[in-house]
Amino acid sequence: MTRKRCLTPDEFRQRLFRQGKTLTRWASEHGYTFREASRVLNGQVKGRHGRGHDIAVAMGIKPDDSAAQHFVADSQPTTANASRNPQRTAVA
């Protein structure tokens, strides 16, 4: 599976400039406020979860994790995990 390269905040700003859009216009087109979009773009909101993450994904500065594959861990603890947490038991 190939991953699309994420933009840097500066690349996103350049893209808006080339399209002749302001951040206010982009935000309103995507259902966000200027303040929310500006805070994500300037790094004041990290975009790790919630609305900030949604904005960062829409901007293309973070990958869309909803398409990522989730792997199920083994039901038996590994030797390393068992030694770190001796009370952990395997789920049957």
pTM for this structure?
A: 0.67
HSE-up (13 A, CA, CB side) for residue 17:
6
- Residue 75 pLDDT > 50, yes or no? no
Closest CA to 6 of 56, 54, 63: 63
- Is residue 60 within 8 Å of 6, Cβ to Cβ? yes
Cβ-count burial 48-60 (b if 16+ within 10 Å, e if not)? eeeebbbbbbbbb
Taking only the tens place, the pLDDT of each residue in 4-53 is 789 999 999 999 999 999 999 999 999 999 999 999 999 999 989 999 99
Please say if the pLDDT value at position 60 is more than 70: yes
pLDDT band at 89 (very low <50, low <70, confident <90, very high): low
